[in-house]
Structure 1
């Protein structure tokens, strides 16, 4: 428990959560770009990229996407732990602190769905 009775503790935790949210979204976006770059190269110049390189770009992109999803889920978990340590005095009246938690969990879930969709698309 912090027992500071200061809402700035909550807001600092939220800022940290948002920073991790941006990081996870950046990792997911970068993974998508890496995976799609292989497809773009194949479409522009079919002979320049081998099937092995295309598969390597797929797995590298998927790794970044999954890393982003894991980062988002872990940030949500850490934020939930911090919320449990705060006293009611540290929450402004009528303030809902769980929205950031839900958004991060949604980003994690959607990132995993994106990775699965790209992997299945590659199979067909």
Structure 2
């Protein structure tokens, strides 16, 4: 089952969010050999920001950790009030794909944004 997680992202700000994936038995899921893709978009367009395990997502192998990082340049490109995102996990060797989390992204605009 996909977990729902909503968050707020500051326009033109860094965003770093650590996550840990736990299985139904309460043990962490080993992410060794897996890749990840996170897509953020508004409700009416194609992807605005795409993070991958090559750029913006760090997978922690046996520890089951996932670190999401969005740069100020990437968040400056966003131009919506509320958008959507999902985080997909893939394991190519077994043709495995799972939508781990999804939800809404609220863009917070400061007085200088």
Q: TM-score surpassing 0.5? A: no
TM range (shorter): under 0.3
Give the strand-richer structure, 1 or 2. Answer: 2
* TM superposition score normalised by structure 1: 0.21
Give the helix-richer structure, 1 or 2. Answer: 1
